[in-house]
Amino acid sequence: MGKNSAEVVFDETNDENSGVTATLCNWIVGLEKKDIPDSVLERGKHLILDGIACGLVGSHVPWSEQAVDAVLAYEPEGQCNLIGYEEKLGPLAAAVLNGGFIQATELDDYHSVAPLHSASVVLGSLFAAAQVKNIKVRGSSANGQSQDAGPARTVSGIDFLTAAIAGFETGPRSGMAIHGTDLLVRGWHSGVVFGCPAAAAASSKLLGLSAVDTESAIGIACTQACGLMAAQFEGMVKRMQHGIAARNGLFGALLARNGYVGIKKVYERNYGGFLNMFSQGNTKTPRYDVREVVAGLGDVWHTSRIRFKLHACVGGCHGLVEAVESLQKAHPERFSGEGLKRLKSLKVGLSETILHHDGWAPHERPLTSTGSQMCAAYISATQLIDSQVLIAQFAESQLNRDEVWELVNKTSCHHDSQFDKPNHQCGAHVVAEFDDGTTVEETVQMPKGFDPPITNDEIRSKYRRLAASVIDEERIEKIEKLVLEIDQLEDVSELLQLLAKPTRKAVD
């Protein structure tokens, strides 16, 4: 392990006395800028920038606006900003909405071994945590009324960045300990499960909690963890579920900072523990491995392993999009105009995880925007027709096009075990057969963005492209400068206020 960690000796079993949860919490509390490689700090900044781009675009899509209207109808005004809105809400409501905005269009980051959308849970919680008021002590004044415990908090940029990296590291580790992608096979929305401790870790770090209180915060977050993957079909709530995880982690930290005691040893407990319970029903041996939570802690940085999306669909289908794109480039006469009309069938091989998650046959026409972004057959048809898979392809006006559905109905998905290897689960093998008997095929083992990773230059280009669809150039440049120099900011409030200014709609 790195310098900022306590050495723990593990036996070969998942021992309740292994000290894993405590080790993680000690590492979170002790984490400082000097412990983090410069390349990881830069990647952390770019993860924040990418999350902001997604949040700016996602704040005014129809389902986000409906969520805001619903929450404003019952939630009182608070102190925390919302991305793209002038209204302010309490920290828990703000965390839900901001996290939901970042995940709203399927353009945010993902981790391919332990699938979660890190920016939505980490930034959703941190934007709110940075603006929470100090604890009020009941009966502390002469007349028995509550008083502020101290002056208003100021959060520096380096504290914000360090807290974000603590969250970026905790989420994937929590997932890898229970075989990550296996949760998707069994119908759990994995990122919402792993996201709860990630949000708690980030919030606890930003709020300055002790290791003991951070352990309580993670325990409180983990007992709220849940997420049903059936949300991907019809409902809007799939967009919100990572925001719910952000709220759960922040809630744990806010309770724990006032001494409220959560579950201790939440990772290693056998009876009712986080890893034991969420590994129930899997066929792995062992079902879970608590050591993964702290494996390489301080030396191996998952912040650098988080992938950035270039397509506005579920990350598991990015290999499929790129395989179809390669076929289009290699055989333009077959995949355009009259040639495309002669396509007889499209057979798509996917990993076991992605087959369960996204390989389902559409059960209705049209699909919802959510369902269409999670359906491999629809995604491949969209790439074939439009030669791109971006937000515009999933606007309501585009979801019932005959030319797309003709291709959807010619597409079938099956399991291809070559993609079951770690880091290959988002790959795809595509076989296209035409009515003259001609067959062409393409394999993408790993979509662009893992090996080699997307560059920081490409991330900035993505940010500018997305942001330009909803805000003006001056604001784009100010946000980018503040984020990329966040470690030099004395107070992040300037950034949060800039994000809160109204935005235009990206898509109707």
Triad 419, 425, 428: Cα angle to 5°: 60
The confidence band for 450, taking pLDDT boundaries of 50, 70 and 90, is confident
Q: What is the DSSP string of 394-410?
A: GSGGGTT-HHHHHHHTT
Asked whether the predicted pLDDT for residue 497 surpasses 90, the reply is yes
Asked whether the predicted pLDDT for residue 144 surpasses 90, the reply is no
Asked whether the predicted pLDDT for residue 172 surpasses 60, the reply is yes
pLDDT value at residue 449: 82
| Percent of the chain whose predicted confidence (pLDDT) is above 90 | 89
Residues contacting residue 54 through CB under 8 Å, at least 6 positions apart: 101, 102, 103, 104, 105, 107, 108, 119, 120, 466
- Residues listed for the chain: 508
The confidence band for 505, taking pLDDT boundaries of 50, 70 and 90, is confident
The confidence band for 185, taking pLDDT boundaries of 50, 70 and 90, is very high
Phi and psi dihedrals of 443, rounded to 5? -125, 135
- Of residues 358 and 10, more confidently modeled: 358
pLDDT value at residue 5: 46
Structure-block tokens of residue 247? 């709220």
pLDDT value at residue 134: 82
Residue entry with tokens 């392809």 = 393
Give the containing element (helix H, strand E) for 254: helix 241-256
Q: How far apart, in Å, are the Cα atoms of 386 and each of 113, 241, 321, 390? A: 30, 29, 11, 10
Q: How far apart, in Å, are the Cα atoms of 247 and each of 100, 152, 166, 212, 225? A: 10, 22, 17, 21, 11
| C-alpha–C-alpha distance, residues 471 and 506, integer Å | 10
Task: Please give the single-letter amino acid code of residue 130.
Answer: A
Short-list 308, 305, 312, CA closest to 107: 312
Asked whether the predicted pLDDT for residue 506 surpasses 80, the reply is no
Q: Do residues 385 and 407 touch, judged by C-beta distance below 8 A?
A: yes
Over residues 202-236, the pLDDT tens digits come to 999 999 999 999 999 999 999 999 999 999 998 99
pLDDT value at residue 422: 86
Structure-block tokens of residue 225? 């963890």
pLDDT value at residue 11: 43
Residues contacting residue 171 through CB under 8 Å, at least 6 positions apart: 111, 114, 116, 118, 121, 122, 191, 194, 195, 197, 198, 302
| C-alpha–C-alpha distance, residues 47 and 208, integer Å | 22
| C-alpha–C-alpha distance, residues 252 and 207, integer Å | 11
Over residues 369-407, the pLDDT tens digits come to 999 999 999 999 999 999 999 999 999 999 999 999 999
| Percent of the chain whose predicted confidence (pLDDT) is above 70 | 94
Average pLDDT over residues 69-82: 97
The confidence band for 6, taking pLDDT boundaries of 50, 70 and 90, is very low
Asked whether the predicted pLDDT for residue 143 surpasses 60, the reply is no
Asked whether the predicted pLDDT for residue 98 surpasses 50, the reply is yes
pLDDT value at residue 2: 57
Q: Could you tell me the pTM of the whole model?
A: 0.94
- Of residues 143 and 100, more confidently modeled: 100
Over residues 340-372, the pLDDT tens digits come to 999 999 999 999 999 999 999 998 999 999 999
| C-alpha–C-alpha distance, residues 254 and 483, integer Å | 25
Asked whether the predicted pLDDT for residue 291 surpasses 90, the reply is yes
pLDDT value at residue 133: 86
Full set of structural domains in the chain with CATH: 20-132+162-310+483-499 (1.10.4100.10), 315-444 (3.30.1330.120)
Least confident of 64-68, 81-85, 136-140, 263-267: 136-140
| C-alpha–C-alpha distance, residues 98 and 245, integer Å | 11
Please, what sign has the CA dihedral across residues 61, 64, 68, 70? positive
pLDDT value at residue 257: 97
Helices (H) and strands (E) in the chain, counts: 20, 8
Summary mean pLDDT of the chain: 93
Residues contacting residue 31 through CB under 8 Å, at least 6 positions apart: 4, 162, 165, 166, 205
